[in-house]
């Protein structure tokens, strides 16, 4: 699997919306941002796009930061990201809100080194170049590893690259390590000879989010459509966790990823959607504080201000 093949299904900016679901004559269209078509394939595999009384317009992004930039600019109504992109979105005054939380059961951020590297921990990479996408979940993962090891941020040389560019740089030996999420981490191990040094299971929040745009939340018709969408999403995630054999082929077909890569991505994306509560918010605040301590942010936003639980009931209905 090459970087070129992966960027064929995603980009640092939104792809032109060309795929739709639901009733073409519906009066409401939800514009959903997706990453590597993971949300779309999940809903399709679960049959959760049947009998929609609204329309869904899909746009694909390579990572969370550009997705939330589009959300803040009212180019999409909602979209899924890891835990770090909302930190920067909130700090930059993005008017969106986190409206759904997925509690993942496995790690989805990984620190990779070349197969021949002797590195066994972040300590062994002091002074080395680590490729990472700025503002991504893996950016927070690296900061968490450094904090855990008692090392300052400048103990390593962070090279901020898009995931696809980082894959190319890693393959060419231009960086010493790469912090990234799936499916990119599996592509690295399967095709670029990478080895996983450590994952984020003891470092990150273990949460991913669906955020919604302020305009969509203020629109009664779109808000009602989102309520239905999140019930379907929660139901689809619960179903997919129990039926990976049905989800993986659809994900592989939509993304043109090998099934072994799609299967690995599934393994690290499992976890039900849960209601927003104080514990979920506290984990996000701890992450925000980590970026402040690292000097990346000058002040700490209040995490609770960026959470909106209005769809909790829909999520609980779908998760049953």
Q: Which residues contact 158 (CB under 8 A, 6 or more apart)?
A: 130, 132, 142
Question: pLDDT at position 12, please?
Answer: 39
Residue 108's pLDDT band, with cuts at 50, 70 and 90, is confident
Question: pLDDT at position 75, please?
Answer: 97
Indicate the pairing of strand 78-81 with strand 29-35.
parallel
Average pLDDT over residues 102-120: 91
Residues 47-64 pLDDT 10s: 999 999 999 999 999 889
Average pLDDT over residues 165-182: 94
Question: pLDDT at position 37, please?
Answer: 86
* Fold adopted by 3-105+206-319: D-Maltodextrin-Binding Protein; domain 2 (3.40.190)
Q: Is 49 helix (H, G, I), strand (E, B) or coil?
A: coil
Average pLDDT over residues 191-220: 92
Question: Which of left, alpha, beta for 311 (phi over 0: left; psi -120 to 50: alpha)?
Answer: alpha
Extract the runs of DSSP E, i.e. beta strands, from 2-124.
Answer: 19-22, 29-35, 55-61, 78-81, 97-103, 109-114
Question: pLDDT at position 177, please?
Answer: 97
Average pLDDT over residues 263-282: 88
Q: Please determine, for residue 158, whether its predicted confidence score (pLDDT) is greater than 50.
A: yes
Q: Where is average pLDDT lowest: 127-141, 201-215, 245-259, 271-285?
A: 245-259
Cis upstream peptide for 124 (omega within 30°): no
Domains of the chain by residue range = 3-105+206-319, 109-202
Residue 20's pLDDT band, with cuts at 50, 70 and 90, is low
174-198 burial string, b = 16+ CB within 10 Å, else e? ebbbbbbbbbbbbbbbebbebeebb
Q: Please determine, for residue 19, whether its predicted confidence score (pLDDT) is greater than 70.
A: no
User: How many residues in the chain?
Assistant: 320
The 10 Å Cβ neighbour count of residue 85 is: 29
Q: Which residues contact 18 (CB under 8 A, 6 or more apart)?
A: none
Q: Please determine, for residue 244, whether its predicted confidence score (pLDDT) is greater than 70.
A: yes
Same fold, 3-105+206-319 and 109-202: yes
Chain mean pLDDT for the chain? 88
Question: pLDDT at position 23, please?
Answer: 57
CATH, range 109-202: 3.40.190.10
- 287 and 98 in contact (C-beta within 8 Å)? no
Question: pLDDT at position 225, please?
Answer: 96
Q: Where is average pLDDT lowest: 68-82, 191-205, 214-228?
A: 191-205
Q: Please determine, for residue 16, whether its predicted confidence score (pLDDT) is greater than 50.
A: no
* % residues pLDDT > 90 (the chain): 63
The burial class, CB within 10 Å (0-12 / 13-18 / 19+), for 27 is exposed
């Amino acid at each position: 699997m090459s970087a070129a093949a992966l960027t064929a299904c995603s980009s640092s900016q939104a792809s032109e919306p060309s795929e739709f679901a639901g009733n073409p004559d519906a009066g409401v269209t939800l514009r959903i941002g997706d990453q590597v078509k993971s949300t779309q394939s999940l809903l399709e595999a679960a049959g959760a796009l049947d009998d929609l009384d609204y329309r869904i317009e899909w746009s694909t992004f390579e990572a969370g930061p550009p997705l939330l930039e589009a959300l803040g600019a009212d180019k999409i109504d909602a979209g899924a990201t890891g835990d770090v992109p909302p930190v920067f979105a909130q700090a930059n005054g993005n008017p969106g809100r986190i409206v759904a939380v997925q509690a993942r059961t496995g790690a989805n951020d990984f620190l990779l080194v070349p197969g021949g590297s002797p590195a066994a921990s972040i300590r062994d990479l002091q002074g080395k170049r680590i490729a990472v996408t700025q503002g991504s979940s893996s950016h927070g993962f690296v900061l968490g590893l450094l904090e855990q090891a008692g090392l300052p941020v400048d103990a390593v040389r962070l090279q901020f690259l898009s995931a696809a560019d980082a894959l190319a740089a890693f393959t060419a030996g231009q960086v010493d390590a790469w912090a990234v999420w799936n499916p990119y981490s599996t592509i690295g191990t399967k095709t670029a000879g990478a080895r996983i040094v450590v994952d984020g299971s003891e470092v990150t929040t273990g949460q991913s989010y669906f955020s919604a745009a302020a305009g969509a939340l203020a629109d009664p018709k779109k808000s009602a459509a989102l309520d239905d969408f999140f019930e379907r999403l929660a139901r689809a995630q619960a179903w997919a966790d129990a039926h990976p054999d049905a989800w993986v082929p659809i994900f592989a077909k939509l993304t043109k990823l090998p099934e072994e890569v799609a299967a690995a991505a599934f393994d690290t994306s499992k976890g039900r959607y849960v209601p927003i509560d104080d514990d979920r918010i506290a984990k996000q605040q701890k992450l925000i504080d980590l970026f402040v301590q690292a000097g990346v942010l000058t002040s700490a936003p209040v995490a609770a201000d960026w959470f909106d639980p209005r769809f909790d009931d829909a999520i609980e209905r779908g998760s049953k």
